[in-house]
Structure 1
Amino acid sequence: MKKLVSCYFSVFLSLLLLASCGGDDKQQLMVQKAVAIESGEECHLCGMIITNFAGPKGELYRKEQGETVFKFCSTRDMFSYYLDPENQRNVSVIYVHDMSKMPWEAPDDGYFIDAKSAWFVAGSNKSGAMGKTLASFGKQEDARAFAKEYGGKVINFEQVKRSVLM
């Protein structure tokens, strides 16, 4: 009986210690999700009205900004902002539209995906708010099909560099 009580006490103590090692509860509970882009909202980088333009858009959260979402009129503007070393190390989450789910002319905010797991087509003949932009897709095969139809090169998140945005 003593062994059983000791065992239960050890399990209870272990769970208590694990729960207390979690750090700031507010930080743990904060979930940074993609949000709808409302009419009239401006691009964080260039100031243009986001919904006035076709093509994929982007959103990101900075670690120190908590619940503040930064919205961009194109994936090109989002990456131009993100690729700055100061911003890159401070960004916690990045979202882009999955363009396989919607027409180019009407991006649907119900289809944001994690940019870090997305596939991109650079150099296609499709334009976004600032001219050439990166078409974003949730699946590599969708990106390949888009590149076959509209030109460009399929790349992953790690391959997006400033030279790709030119």
Structure 2
Amino acid sequence: MKLSQHLLTTAMIVLSALLVACNQQDKQQQVQHNPVAFHSADECHVCGMAITRFPGPKGQAINAQGKVKKFCSSAEMLNWWLQPENQVSASAIYVHDMSQGSWDKPDDGHLIEAQLAYYVVAPDMPGSMGTPIASFADQQAAELFAADRKTTVMNFSQLKDALLQQQLSSAAQHADHQHMNH
């Protein structure tokens, strides 16, 4: 009887140690996923353009090994991320909080998780590739920005759906154009 009690106690100690080790490993992995600053030598992962030469929010994706892919705009990063293979390979994605810093020079100290941001499509603002999409940590800041543009605020899920719909519409237009030319 004492032997089984000793084995049970030992098993509980080992299990507790494993749980602590797993928790510490999770924290170490989270540290690897922190966003990094953009530098003048950085080039967009998709188009190869010099990222810091353009105004507006930027984006970055970080994989499980901590490798960072940087993008010249949040829109470029989000369109890249919509590809299923990129959703699997990118364990964390970040965008600038545009309520911090300026449109011409977003503040790299305020990169936020893309899935938690609020978005406003901003075709009237300068940017790099495609229509700029402003990102905000705070919904009220996003609503003020949207009100100035007479548009709406979207959360990540809504923006993802809108971008997918836009991609489908573009693909259908391309297919119609191809069909008409043959």
Q: Name the residue aligned to 2:177.
A: none
Q: Name the residue aligned to 2:16.
A: 15
Q: Name the residue aligned to 1:162.
A: 164
Q: Name the residue aligned to 1:48.
A: 49
SS of the aligned residue for 1:142 comes to helix
**Correspondence list, 1:1-166, <5 A:** 11-19=12-20, 22=22, 25=25, 29-30=28-29, 31=31, 32-63=33-64, 66-160=65-159, 161-163=163-165
Q: Deviation per CA, 1:126-146, whole angstroms, max 9, x where unpaired?
A: 131114111000011111000
Higher strand content, 1 or 2: 1
Aligned residues of 2:94 and 2:114 also touching (Cα < 8 A): yes
CA distance in 2, matches of 1:73, 1:140: 24
Greater shift after overlay, 29-38 or 155-164? 155-164
Higher RCO by CA contacts (8 Å cutoff, separation 6 or greater): 1
User: TM-score, normalization: structure 1?
Assistant: 0.82
Aligned residues of 2:56 and 2:104 also touching (Cα < 8 A): yes
Q: Deviation per CA, 1:69-111, whole angstroms, max 9, x where unpaired?
A: 0000001110111001111222200110000011111111011
CA distance change for structure 1 residues 91 and 124 in 2, over 3 Å: closer, same or farther? same
Aligned residues of 1:124 and 1:153 also touching (Cα < 8 A): no
CA distance in 1, matches of 2:11, 2:42: 54
Higher CA-based Rg: 2
2:147 maps to amino acid: K
1:162 maps to amino acid: L
Instruction: Spell out structure 1 runs of 4+ moving beyond 6 A.
Output: none
User: Alpha carbon RMSD of aligned pairs, Å?
Assistant: 2.8
Aligned residues of 2:76 and 2:130 also touching (Cα < 8 A): no
User: TM-score, normalization: structure 2?
Assistant: 0.76
CA distance in 1, matches of 2:80, 2:139: 24
Structure 2 gap segments, 5+ residues each: 171-182
Count of aligned pairs between the two proteins: 159
Structure 1 gap segments, 5+ residues each: none
Q: Name the residue aligned to 2:174.
A: none
Greater shift after overlay, 113-122 or 145-154? 145-154
